[in-house]
C-alpha cells in the first residue's frame, strides 16, 4: 500500500478511533517512517511537527495504542486507525480523548481528567 505523502509535504493525517466504542480519540500526523513503524510494530507511531521527531503513542505515559484495523481514504492521503487504547487516556492533557471540549455557544469541557499530565510527563 502506497500512501500519498506528497500532498502535505511528507505528512498524512491519522484519525485515531477506539476500536470498541467508535469514539474519536485524537488526530495526529504520520510521515513515511511513522507509517512503516506502525505497520511493523502494531503500535501507533506518529511524527511530531512541533518536536520534529518520530514518536510512539504512549512512550512516556504508557498509554499505548495497539492498532487493530487500518483504513485508507479514497485519495490515499488520510489514515484511520482503530486502536485498543492501553491506559485510560489518549490526550496528553490527561483526558480520554483530545476532543474533550464542546462548542455550544461557549467552549465547555465535557470529560473528566483521567490523569495529571504534570505527574506523567517529564519536562
Provide the domain limits for residue 68: 6-120
The answer, yes or no, to whether residue 24 has pLDDT greater than 70, is: yes
Tens digits of residue pLDDT in 44-80: 999 999 999 999 999 988 999 999 999 999 999 999 9
With residue 61 as reference, give the H or E element that holds it: none
- Report the share of the chain in percent with pLDDT over 70: 98
Please measure the distance between the N-terminal and C-terminal CA atoms of the chain and give it in whole angstroms: 38
Distance, CA of 44 to CA of 64 (rounded, Å): 8
The answer, yes or no, to whether residue 122 has pLDDT greater than 80, is: no
Is residue 47 assigned to a domain? yes
Q: What is the average per-residue pLDDT within 96-102?
A: 97
Query: Does 75 show up as a binding residue in the annotation?
Result: yes
If one counts every other C-beta atom within 10 angstroms of the C-beta of residue 98, the result is: 17
State how far the alpha carbon of 48 is from the alpha carbons of 8, 16, 31, 69, 103, in Å.
14, 15, 9, 22, 26
Is residue 23 assigned to a domain? yes
The answer, yes or no, to whether residue 97 has pLDDT greater than 90, is: yes
Read off the pTM. Answer: 0.93
The candidate with the shortest Cα–Cα distance to 84, out of 64, 62, 114, 61, is 64
CA dihedral 32, 93, 15, 56 (to 10 degrees): 30
Is 114 in contact with 88 (CB distance < 8 Å)?
Answer: yes
pLDDT at position 13: 98
Is residue 60 assigned to a domain? yes
Q: What is the average per-residue pLDDT within 6-34?
A: 97
pLDDT at position 90: 96
Output phi, psi for 61, to 5 deg.
-85, -20
Is residue 36 assigned to a domain? yes
The answer, yes or no, to whether residue 8 has pLDDT greater than 80, is: yes
Query: Does 18 show up as a binding residue in the annotation?
Result: no
Query: Does 74 show up as a binding residue in the annotation?
Result: yes
- Average pLDDT over the chain reads 95
Is residue 1 assigned to a domain? no
Query: Does 98 show up as a binding residue in the annotation?
Result: yes
CATH code for the domain of 36: 3.10.20.810
Domain total in the chain? 1
Query: Does 91 show up as a binding residue in the annotation?
Result: yes
Amino acid at each position: 500500500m502506497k500512501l500519498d505523502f506528497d500532498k502535505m509535504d511528507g505528512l498524512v493525517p491519522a484519525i485515531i478511533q477506539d476500536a470498541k466504542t467508535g469514539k474519536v480519540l485524537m488526530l495526529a500526523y504520520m510521515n513515511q517512517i511513522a507509517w512503516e513503524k506502525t505497520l511493523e510494530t502494531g503500535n501507533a507511531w506518529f511524527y511530531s511537527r512541533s518536536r520534529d521527531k518520530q514518536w510512539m503513542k504512549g512512550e512516556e505515559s504508557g498509554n499505548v495504542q495497539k492498532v487493530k484495523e487500518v483504513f485508507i481514504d479514497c485519495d490515499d492521503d488520510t489514515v484511520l486507525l482503530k486502536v485498543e487504547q492501553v491506559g485510560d487516556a489518549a490526550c496528553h492533557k490527561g483526558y480520554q480523548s483530545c476532543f474533550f471540549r464542546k462548542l455550544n455557544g461557549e467552549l465547555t469541557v465535557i470529560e473528566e481528567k483521567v490523569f495529571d499530565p504534570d505527574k506523567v510527563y517529564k519536562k
